[in-house]
Amino acid sequence: MSSISTPRCTHSSASVACSQNASKAGFKRPDAKQRLAATRPQKPSKVAESESISIDDPWTFPAPLLLPGDDLSEDPEYPPQSFQEWLDEEDRNPVSVKRKTIYVVTAPEIEDEVQFMRAWEKQFDEEHQVTKPSPQAILDYLQAFYHGLPVKGLSRLAPAFTVWDEELKSNRKCRRPKYVALKFGNECIRIRTRPAPDGISGGQLNLDDLLDAAIAMLPKDAYALLLLVNQDLYEDEDDEFVCGRAYGASRVAVVSSSRYNPALDEHQSVERLHAWPASHCEEYISTCCTKSRSNVKRQKTSNLQKPNKSKDPHSNSSSPLMAAMSIYRDLETINPSPSALSTLWLGRVCRTAAHELGHCFGIDHCVYYACAMQGTGSIREDARQPPFLCPVDLAKLTYATGATATQRYKALIDFCDRPQYKNCLFFTPFAEWIREVLDPTSQ
């Protein structure tokens, strides 16, 4: 059941360990010694020692949740990627003086010849007065997330969807041809289409075709390129949908904003009340695992009694996780304003955009911690994952960008604290988490 009709929860007790479902799934998390080793080079190297910011404090960097149906629950033996393994990866593209810029290509326009694409998306955003994520805001967030490298728009391409089959120009009533075209510069690339199997959107675009288009867009000085699209996507015929993908070795990624629209949360059973950081709510985790054992298909949060606080001295508002949860508890998750829904939509797209670009840096899915680089098995799981990088992946990124962790955190706070994101369900708790990380009195 969506949080829209779920009783309010106090989130007064958190869990920072893997859920009880982890052992049932067969997941064995790397131990503390292995996690520490994974943040550092293990061979003689000129790599500078990274900053040590609460490397293994679970109230800063919790374990992955592994709720039933989560990606790691379905693939519990997914191999970890340490800093040294990342450094040795043959397919990883090192940042160079000639190729260090991250480019962001805004969502293509829709030309009149394919105006049927405008009707593909149900008008949930209009019904709820939700505004699509601003491409400039996504770019600004990525500038902070990848602080140390230039992140730029590539507006000169002016991409647009147009007709592929010339015969369709005289038949504009056609609502779903097999192909459309994506044109940019002097290029025109065929994009396959199909109806969405679950009916949430009127049509979908093929992700592989869009990735081919992104490769064709790639400037010579690009370290990586991200193509944003507003339309729903699919990759294989068996997919219901996909939200994005990266071809890391090819330096490109594609991300769709379509499924992240909060107006779709009830339709997709997204638990907004227990999105990150409230996904670590102890009662919620227990309920998810219990309901799974009872073969209940849709998650529902029961009426909660206030649990006893953990005896762990860090499990209070002075820890980064609990500070973020405290802020989140005070925000309006049940009936948020249209502006709050709009900024939540933006935050979700920003997190996925940062994740897919992380693959362009050669960073694999994370199994060490709850982390922005975790794999995700569903839209529901995606909402439960944090926007921050764990110590292992943070070490990789700071090595690649040349920025320190502190410089990067301050850039992210500057973005999250912008007035237009005040009381945002995504950026406000993230900023509070960062503040506690940077405050030495909270460690």
47 is a domain residue = yes
Output 312 or 153, whichever has higher pLDDT: 153
Residue with tokens 């969502």: 107
95 is a domain residue = no
Give me the sheet containing 204-206, strands edge to edge: 109-110, 160-163, 179-184, 187-194, 204-206, 232-234
What is the mean predicted confidence (pLDDT) over 234-259? 95
* Angle separating helix axes 338-360 and 135-145, nearest 10 degrees: 50
The pLDDT value given to residue 123: 55
Domain count, the chain: 2
Tell me, yes or no, whether 211 and 134 share the same domain: yes
The pLDDT value given to residue 173: 55
What is the mean predicted confidence (pLDDT) over 414-419? 98
Tell me: cis bond preceding 58? Omega within 30 of 0 counts: no
Tell me, yes or no, whether 415 and 292 share the same domain: yes
Question: Which of the listed residues 227, 262, 297 is the one where a domain comes to its end?
Answer: 262
Percent of the chain with pLDDT over 70: 85
Query: 85-99, 233-247, 282-296: which has the minimum mean pLDDT?
Result: 282-296
The pLDDT value given to residue 290: 86
pTM: 0.91
Residues 135-184 pLDDT 10s: 999 999 999 999 999 999 998 889 999 999 765 555 555 557 899 999 99
Query: 143-147, 200-204, 302-306, 311-315: which has the minimum mean pLDDT?
Result: 302-306
227 is a domain residue = yes
Three-state SS letters, 318-354: CCHHHHHHHHHHHCCCCCCCHHHHHHHHHHHHHHHHH
Domain limits for position 408: 3-90+263-442
The domain that holds 223 is classified in CATH as: 3.40.390
The pLDDT value given to residue 441: 57
